[in-house]
Structure 1
Amino acid sequence: MKRFTASSGIPRRLLLQAGVATAAAAALPQPAPAAGAADEPDWRRYVVGPADRHVTPSLVTATTGDVRDPDALLTRGGTVTVLTRPRPTAPPQWPAGTTATASSFHAPNGGNNGTPTTYEPGNAVDADPGTFWNDAEPATYPAVLTITTPTAQTLPGVTLLSNADGVPVDFTVETWDGTAWQPAATVTGNSDVQRAVPFGAAVTTGSVRLTVTRTQDTPRGQYTRVNALWPGVVEAAAAPSVTVDFGKVVVGYPRVVFAWASDNNPGVRLAFSETLQFLTDRSDYTRGDGSGGPGTDQYAVPAGGADWLDQPGDQSGTQVHAEGLHGFRYLKITLDALPADAPAALPYGQVAIDAVALEFTAYLGTPESYAGTFLCSDDELNRYWYAASYAGELTVDTFRATDCDPRDAASPTLEGKLVLHDGAKRDRDPYVGDLAVSGRTLYLTHPDAAVAARNVLADLAAHQRSDGFLPPASIVGYALKLFDYPLWWITTSWDYVLYTGDRAYAADHWTTLTAVLDTWYPSVTDGDGLLSKGLNATGEYGDYAFLPRSGRVTYYNVLYVQALRDAARIAGFLGYTADADRWTRRAATVTAAVNAKLWDATAGAYLDTLDGPVRHGQDGNSLAITADVADPARAASALRYLDATTRQPYGNAFMDNNTLPGVGGASERVYAFTSYPEIVARFRTGAADSAIDQIKRTYGWMAAHDPGSAAWEGIGPGGKPYEDGFTSMVHGWSTGVLPALTNELLGVTPTGPGFTTWTLEPHPGTTAWAQGTVPTPHGPLTVSWQRTPSTFTLRITAPTGTRGQVVLPAQARTARTTLNGAAVPGRTVRDIGPGTHTIVVR
C-alpha cells in the first residue's frame, strides 16, 4: 500500500545492463541517525543485504562422491575444486519385444517444441532413463507396473530408477511362475532415486510386477514415477557433488567459473533451494516443474574451462537447458547430465571449478540506500525489521518474461519495468494483495524504488474488465479471478498516494476506481448491502489463499469497508466531495450490516461466514478492527477470542477450526499476511505487549529456522513450511512486521497525501525506547522516544511542508505534559510544524 514522487523511469541505481543488474549511479545519501540513548547500537549493523551485486557463498555444506579441495571454490584463483566421475557401465536392458502395462498412467502434457511429454508405462522399458511412467492421479494406490518379456529371463533382482519428484517409498516386486504371482522382494522407507532390489535367489520368469503402495509427498501431491525397471542389480555410485551456502536467500543469475574439464563434454547440473531440507538432486522449485522438467539447470563444460553465467536458454540446439535466474540460499553442483542431452553433455569425466557466485538482480539494500530506519531497545524487533526489509528488497526486480511465473504471466506491458514480485523464488509475478504489505515496507525503507508499486497498480488498471473487475496479477493472461483483490487495488492505491503524494496517479486512475466500486462490487451485493460471493457467477472465484468460502464472508465485507473509506479519501484529495460522501455512507451501511449479521455474540467474535459451518477467521476479525468496523468492546472481545483459539508457538493461525473443505490444518496454519492486521489491531487497542508477543512467536519462529528469512509465505502444522519445498520462504506479503513497528510501535503514520499531515502515536508496551527515520517526499521525519518510570520523552524533527499531531500514551491523561518547555493539556498535542520539538510527559 505505498510511494514517493511520481516517476515513469527506473532509478539509475537499478538499471539493468546485459541482463544483470548493476549499480549505475551513486548511492543515496546516508540518513542521519535519529537521536536516542548514547549507548544505542547503530542500526547499520542489522542490515541484511549483500554489500554489492557480486555475491559469493560463505561455506561448503556438503559433498558427495569424488570431490577434491571443495573449499577452493569459495575463492577465485589458486587451487581449484575437482569433481571426478568414471564412465559408468551401461545398465542391463530388457530384450526386444518387451512390453509394459500399468494400472493407470497420466495423460500427455507440457512438452518441448510442440511435442507433448508422455507418461505411458512403456517409458519404463524404453532404454531411455530420461522418460518415465507416471500414474494417473496423486495417491492412486496401489500403482501397478507389469513388465512382460517375449522369452523367460533369469533375474538376480531388479533395479528401480525413479524420478526425484516421485520416488516410490513402499513397494513390492513379484514374479510370474506360470500360474501365479510369487513375492520376490519388499521395500519400505525407500528414498533413493536408484534402488537396487536383489532377490533372495535368482528367478527365471517371463513377467515382473512392481506394486507401489506409497510415494513421497511433494508440493503437487503424491505421484508414482518410474524412469526404468532394469533387469538386474545395479548399485548406484554417488555422483560427485558440492553444495554451497550463500548465508541467506539471494536472487539473480548464478555464475560458475570452470578452470578446465576433460575433453568429453562433461555435464554439470545445478539444483537450488531456499532450505537444505528440500535440496535433493533437484531444486525445491523451478519454472519448468509444471511441464515435467528435470528440476535442474544444465551446462556442458568446455575442456578449456569457462566463466559461465547461468542465463535462460539451450547451450546446444535444443539440448543442455538452463533456466537462468533463481532465488535460493543453497546451490548444489553435480557432475551429471540428462540422458537426453547426450552427446552434447555426458554424465562423467572431470570438471575443475575455480569459483561460484551470484549476480544479484533485486534491489540492493545497503546502509547507504536506506532512507528509512528503525531501532529500539529490543534486539529481536530490530532484527525482524531489517530482515523484513531485506525480504522486501528481494521482491523488487525488473519484470522479465524469462524468469516470471511460468503460468502465462509474461506481459509485454510489464516487460522491462521495475515491479514488486510476490517472492524471490516464486511467484515471480506482481500480485496486488501482496502489495498491500510489501508496498508499505518499500515506502518506509527505499522510497526511491516506489515506482515499482506504481507500475504494478497502473498495469492492473490498464487490464480492467468492462464490468469493472480488476485482475489480481498478470498470471494466466490477466484472467485469474480473485474476489477480494480489486479491493486491495483500491487500498494499495490509497497507500501509494498517501506515502508519495502522487496526485497524477490518483487522477489518471479515477475511472478505474469508480468502476470497481460503482459497477463490479454492486453486482455482488445482496439486499442487506453485504458482499456475497456466488452472486453474479462468482462462486468459483478465489481469494488470497484460494479458500473455498462462499456467501457473506466477514473478511470480504470489512475489506470492502476499508476500500470504500480509502476511496473516499482519494475522492477528497481530488475534490470529488459527492463521491466521497456517497462511499462514506455506503461504508457505514456495510459496517452496520456486518455488526448486525456477522457478529457471533456467543463466541465474542465475528463469524467467518453466514453460509457454512461455524468458524471464526483471523482475517475478518483483524480487519474489522483496523477498518473501524468493530467498536472498542467488540475489538477487545475478538482479540481475546483469537488469542484463546488460534495461538500457536509459531504465531496465530488464520482460522479457529478445520471446517474449511479441502484446507488441511487451517487451525494450525499461520499466514503472516493475515497476522499483520491482527498485530496492528493489538497495538491500536492498547495491547502493545500482546502485539510484540505475537511478533516474536511468528517472526521469531521463522528467523530461527532455515533459511532464517523471517518472511515465509506460510507456516503449516508443526511449524513447517506449509507447502513443503514449494513454499516461498521470502515473500513480500510476510513483511508486515516492518510497517507494524514503524507505524505502531514507533508510532509514525501519514494522514495526508505525501505526508502533508502526519500522526505520531507511540505504543511502547514494555519497550524502553525507540527511534527511527521515516522518509517523506519533503525530507526525513525523525522521531525518538524514551520512557523511564517517571517520564516519557519524545523528540521530533519534522520537514518543511508537513504538520502533525502527537497522541501520547494513555498514561498522559493524568500527567503533566510540556512541548518545548511550555505546558500543554491532554493526550493530544496538535498542529506541530516543521523543525525540532521535544515533548516531555512527567
Structure 2
Amino acid sequence: MIPALAAPSAVAAPIDVSGLNTSAWQSSVLGPSTADVHPVQVEGRGEVAHPQSLLKSHGPATTLTTKAGGPPASVLLDFGKEVGGTPYLDLTRVTGSPTLTLVTAEARQYIRTPASTTVSAAAASGSTQIPLASAGNLETGNTITFTPATGTPVTRTITGFDATARTVTVKPALPAALAAGTAVATSPGAPSSDESRGLAGVGGPDTFQPTGPGRLTGGFHGGFRFALLTVSSLGSVNLSSAGLDFQAFRATPADYQGWFLSSEDDLNRMWYSGAYTLQMNLKAPGLNGLPDARIYDGAKRDRSIWTGDLLVQIPTLLTSLGKAGATYVKSSLDVLLATQRADGAFPGSPDFSKRTSPAGSPLFYSNNYSGYGARAFIDYFRYTGDKAYLTAALPALRKELAYNDTFLSTDNLVVSNDRDYWQATQTGEVTKYSIDYYVLLKEMSWLERSVGSAALADGDDAKAEAVKTAVISKLWNPQLGAYGQSSAKPDVLVEDANALALQYGFVPEGKEAGVLAAMKSLWTPYGAIMGPGLQDPTGHTIEPFANGMETAGRFAVGDTTGALDLMKRTWGPMIDKKNPLYTGAFWEFKNSTGGVNRATASLAHGWAASPSVQLTEQLLGVKPVGAGYQSWSIAPHPGSVRWASGAVPTAYGTIKTEWTSDPRSGRFTLTVQAPEHTTGTITVPVGRTSVVTVNGRAGKDFGSGANSSGGYVTLTVPDGTSQIIVS
C-alpha cells in the first residue's frame, strides 16, 4: 500500500532552500590555512631556554644547550594533527660544533625507542661501567634498569656510553654484581623515527651540522604529528622559529566541492577526518621525483598505490574534492594500466618497493586484489562519467576479468591459495573471494551496458548469478546462522564475508537478523574483530577496512542503528583528541585493546576512510546510479539522527540536499536541488498512515511513479528543486 499523496493545493508553498547553502560545515575542515605550519605545543628536555617561543612569532630565542655529562637538549614539537612536508629550523646563533638530529612520528609513543639488550659480561659490585650486548638507543640522562633472573631490579642514570666499545656508564655505582645475560632496558629511550624509509623511499632522521645562523630544511616526511629536535653533540643553538612546509594536498573550505553536516558532532568529525586522511594520502605532481599525481595508501607508509585501498579512497575523494581529486585517481589508474601483466592481472600495488627507484616496482599481491584493481576503474567512471577514459581501458578490464575467472571451480566458487587485506592466506572455496568475484562481474556488467557490449553484460550477469547460487547453497552454515570463512574452514565466523553477503543480497531470505546478531558477537568496545582467532602478522585483530564493509552491510539491510553504533566504536576513538594516537586522520588497524602494535602502523590510512562516503551515501543518502550522476538516488537512512545536509559534486553540477526527521511525530522533510539534465529518485521513510506531499502538492507524475516497500516510498523526480514532506 502506497501512503496517501496529499491533494493538490491551489498554490504550491514556497520551498525553503536556505539551509542547502549553509557554511557551518567549514569550521570542521582540518587542512591548514597556509602552507607554513607551526607546532601548537612544545616541550623541552635537558637544558632548554624559552621553548614556548617556538609557538609565537616573537619573544626571546629558544636555546638548546648540550654539555658534557648532561642529557642532550631537545624539544618535542607537536603539530596537533597529521602533517606532511619538509620541516625547517631558523637558527640565529650557533655555539661550538653541535650536531642536530630531527626525527618524526605519528604517535608520541614511537618518537623515542627504549634500549632492550643484555649485560654481555659479568659486572662487579661497585662498577660504574657495564658492558652491553648492544649500545643501540642509549641516551645520556635516561634511566637504565638491570633486571637479574633472580633478585631486585636495579635502576640507575646513564651518564655516558661508548657505542664502539658497547659500554654504558652509570651513576651511582652498582650495589651488587650483575651476571652476564642480565636484561637491560632504558626509559624513555633515544630519538627514533616511525617511518619505513626503505619501503617508502622518504623519511627517516634528518641530521644537521650548522656552523652559523640561517635556515635548515629537512627531507620530505610524508606523515607525522610529532617532531623531536635534539642537540646530540656538545654545543648550543638559538632558534627563532621551527615549522613545516606543508606538501600534502592542502584543502581549505574553498577546495571542498562536497560537504556534510548533521545533528551529531561525532559523525561530522568523522566525515572530515576521512576527507583529511585522503588529502594526506595524495602525492602532488613533481613531488619526490615523480611527475604524476598519485593516491598513496598511507601518508608515511607504504606511500604506494594499493587497489584494495582505492575502493574506499576513490569515492571518498571524489565526493569531497570532486574534479581536483579526479586528477589523482586517473593518474593512479594509469600506473595500474602500465603495470598490468600479460595474463591480465593487475598488481595489488603497482609501485610498491622504493628501494631501487622512486617510481617503485609492481607487487602482484593477490588475485583478489587484482579484481579490486578493475573495480577501481569502474568506480572512477561511476563518479566522474569519464566515458572516453573507460572506453579506452575496457579491453584491459576484460583481460583482468578473464584472469580472475581462472580461479573459479567447477562449483562456480573461487578457489585460491591467496592473500587478502589482513596479509593472511585463505584456502579452499573462499566465501569472501567468491562474493568479491560476483561483485566484479556485476560491476563489469554495468560498465559493459554503459560503454561496451550488451551481450557481454548478459554473460557477466549470468555468471554472477551462478556464483551467488553456489555461495548460498554450498557455503552457508546453518549452525552458525551465517557464512563461514571457506569450505576449508566452514565453522570460522568471519566479519568480511558476512558483511558483503548483507550488502549484496547473499543472505537467505529471512535470515538477515541472525547474521546481524552473529556479526555483533565479534564486536568489542573498539570495533569488530575479523573473526575468532584471526589476526594480521603483528597481532592486529580489528581492521577498519573490514569494519567499513560491515557498516555498509548493516545500512543495506536497514540496520542504521547498528551501522552507526559500530562506526562510533571503530572510528570514535580516532577522532578523540585525548587519544594518544590521535592524528585527525584514520588508522590502518587496531589491536584488541584499541591501540596499534608496531611503530610503522599507519595512522593516516586511506582504506579506513569509509565513514566519509557512507555518511554521504547512506545517512545523507546521495548515490550515483548513472555514470557521473546523470541519474542518481537520494535515500536517507536517518535512524536516530535528527537532521543532515550536504552537497555532492557531479559531472553535471552539484547536488545539494537536506533532511529533518522527527521519529516521534513521524514527520520527515527532504529538500533537494539537482543539476540540469539529470534525473533521480527520492526515497523517504513513511508509516502506514503517512501523508506525502511533493512541492506542496501531488502531481500525477509522482502518483504514478511512486512505489512503496519496507517502510519507504520512492518517487521519481526531475532536475531542479524538489521538497518531499511526510507527515
Query: Shorter-chain TM-score category?
Result: 0.7 to 0.9
Tell me which residue corresponds to 2:517. 640
Tell me which residue corresponds to 1:836. 721
Query: For 1:53 and 1:594, how far apart are their aligned partners in 2?
Result: 52
Tell me which residue corresponds to 1:164. 137
**515 and 188 in structure 1: CA distance in 2 versus 1, 3 angstrom threshold:** farther
How far residue 154 of structure 1 moved from its aligned partner, in angstroms, is 10
Aligned residue among 238, 262, 268 for 1:382: 268
How far residue 164 of structure 1 moved from its aligned partner, in angstroms, is 2.8
Query: For 1:606 and 1:469, how far apart are their aligned partners in 2?
Result: 28
Query: For 2:719 and 2:518, how far apart are their aligned partners in 1?
Result: 43
Please tell me the residue identity of whatever aligns with 2:180.
L
Q: Mean Cα displacement is larger for which, 369-378 or 786-795?
A: 786-795
Contact 2:419–2:425, Cα closer than 8 Å, also in 1: yes
How far residue 170 of structure 1 moved from its aligned partner, in angstroms, is 7.4
Matches within 5 A, 1:247-646: 281-288=191-198, 296-303=205-212, 305-311=213-219, 324-336=220-232, 347-398=233-284, 402=288, 415-447=290-322, 448-473=324-349, 474-476=351-353, 477-518=361-402, 520-534=403-417, 541-612=418-489, 614-643=491-520, 645-646=521-522
**84 and 157 in structure 1: CA distance in 2 versus 1, 3 angstrom threshold:** closer
How far residue 78 of structure 1 moved from its aligned partner, in angstroms, is 4.4
| 3-state SS of paired residue (1:716) | coil
| 3-state SS of paired residue (1:822) | coil
How far residue 483 of structure 1 moved from its aligned partner, in angstroms, is 2.8
Tell me which residue corresponds to 2:5. none
Query: For 1:164 and 1:690, how far apart are their aligned partners in 2?
Result: 46
| 3-state SS of paired residue (1:387) | helix
Across the two proteins, how many residue pairs are aligned to each other? 635
Please tell me the residue identity of whatever aligns with 1:725.
A
Query: For 2:681 and 2:203, how far apart are their aligned partners in 1?
Result: 59
Tell me which residue corresponds to 2:180. 210
Query: 1:340-392, CA deviations, whole angstroms, 9 ceiling, x for partnerless residues?
Result: xxxxxxx1111111111111111111111111011111111111111111111
**372 and 766 in structure 1: CA distance in 2 versus 1, 3 angstrom threshold:** same
Query: 1:152-182, CA deviations, whole angstroms, 9 ceiling, x for partnerless residues?
Result: 99955416463239999976689xxxxxxxx
Contact 1:689–1:765, Cα closer than 8 Å, also in 2: yes
Task: Provide structure 2 residue ranges, at least 5 long, that are not aligned to the other structure.
Answer: 1-15, 71-100, 102-115, 162-167, 354-360
Query: For 1:154 and 1:213, how far apart are their aligned partners in 2?
Result: 18
Query: For 1:189 and 1:493, how far apart are their aligned partners in 2?
Result: 60
Query: 1:638-682, CA deviations, whole angstroms, 9 ceiling, x for partnerless residues?
Result: 122111x21111122222x1156x75756xx22111111211221
Query: For 2:571 and 2:270, how far apart are their aligned partners in 1?
Result: 7
How far residue 636 of structure 1 moved from its aligned partner, in angstroms, is 3.0
Give the TM-score, by structure 2 length.
Answer: 0.80
Query: 1:47-81, CA deviations, whole angstroms, 9 ceiling, x for partnerless residues?
Result: 11110111111121x21111011111223454210
How far residue 623 of structure 1 moved from its aligned partner, in angstroms, is 1.2
Matched, 1:58 2:40: yes
Query: For 1:511 and 1:489, how far apart are their aligned partners in 2?
Result: 14
Query: For 2:391 and 2:569, how far apart are their aligned partners in 1?
Result: 42
Give the TM-score, by structure 1 length.
Answer: 0.70
How far residue 526 of structure 1 moved from its aligned partner, in angstroms, is 1.3
How far residue 511 of structure 1 moved from its aligned partner, in angstroms, is 1.6
Query: For 2:31 and 2:552, how far apart are their aligned partners in 1?
Result: 26
Contact 1:169–1:214, Cα closer than 8 Å, also in 2: yes
Query: For 2:155 and 2:510, how far apart are their aligned partners in 1?
Result: 57
Contact 2:30–2:273, Cα closer than 8 Å, also in 1: yes
Matches within 5 A, 1:78-93: 78-87=59-68
**212 and 566 in structure 1: CA distance in 2 versus 1, 3 angstrom threshold:** farther
**289 and 148 in structure 1: CA distance in 2 versus 1, 3 angstrom threshold:** farther
Where relative contact order (Cα < 8 A, 6+ residues apart) is larger, the structure is: 2
Contact 2:36–2:244, Cα closer than 8 Å, also in 1: yes
How far residue 840 of structure 1 moved from its aligned partner, in angstroms, is 1.2
Please tell me the residue identity of whatever aligns with 1:764.
P
Please tell me the residue identity of whatever aligns with 1:791.
R
Contact 1:371–1:773, Cα closer than 8 Å, also in 2: yes
Aligned residue among 716, 732, 740 for 2:591: 716
Please tell me the residue identity of whatever aligns with 2:28.
Y
Please tell me the residue identity of whatever aligns with 1:164.
N
Task: Provide structure 1 residue ranges, at least 5 long, that are not aligned to the other structure.
Answer: 1-32, 90-129, 131-141, 175-182, 217-235, 237-277, 312-323, 337-346, 404-414, 535-540
Matches within 5 A, 1:721-740: 721=596, 723-740=597-614
Contact 2:622–2:635, Cα closer than 8 Å, also in 1: yes
Query: For 2:147 and 2:452, how far apart are their aligned partners in 1?
Result: 75
Contact 1:494–1:566, Cα closer than 8 Å, also in 2: yes
How far residue 439 of structure 1 moved from its aligned partner, in angstroms, is 1.1
Aligned residue among 660, 684, 687 for 1:786: 660
Query: For 1:566 and 1:792, how far apart are their aligned partners in 2?
Result: 33
Query: For 2:241 and 2:717, how far apart are their aligned partners in 1?
Result: 57
Query: For 1:482 and 1:838, how far apart are their aligned partners in 2?
Result: 47
| 3-state SS of paired residue (2:660) | strand
| 3-state SS of paired residue (1:807) | strand
Contact 1:34–1:772, Cα closer than 8 Å, also in 2: no
Contact 1:46–1:383, Cα closer than 8 Å, also in 2: yes
Query: For 1:658 and 1:694, how far apart are their aligned partners in 2?
Result: 20
Query: 1:788-827, CA deviations, whole angstroms, 9 ceiling, x for partnerless residues?
Result: 3142111111101210011222x25542212223333544
Contact 1:289–1:295, Cα closer than 8 Å, also in 2: no
* Percent pairwise identity: 29
Query: For 2:176 and 2:657, how far apart are their aligned partners in 1?
Result: 81
Q: Mean Cα displacement is larger for which, 520-529 or 184-193?
A: 184-193
| 3-state SS of paired residue (2:511) | helix
Please tell me the residue identity of whatever aligns with 1:390.
Y
How far residue 297 of structure 1 moved from its aligned partner, in angstroms, is 1.4
Contact 2:310–2:607, Cα closer than 8 Å, also in 1: yes
Q: Mean Cα displacement is larger for which, 788-797 or 585-594?
A: 788-797
Query: For 2:656 and 2:673, how far apart are their aligned partners in 1?
Result: 5
Query: For 2:300 and 2:566, how far apart are their aligned partners in 1?
Result: 27
Contact 2:674–2:721, Cα closer than 8 Å, also in 1: yes
Please tell me the residue identity of whatever aligns with 2:137.
A
Tell me which residue corresponds to 2:75. none
Contact 1:499–1:754, Cα closer than 8 Å, also in 2: yes
Contact 2:120–2:131, Cα closer than 8 Å, also in 1: no
**37 and 586 in structure 1: CA distance in 2 versus 1, 3 angstrom threshold:** closer
Contact 1:88–1:348, Cα closer than 8 Å, also in 2: no
Q: Mean Cα displacement is larger for which, 626-635 or 687-696?
A: 626-635
Please tell me the residue identity of whatever aligns with 1:158.
I
Tell me which residue corresponds to 1:654. 530
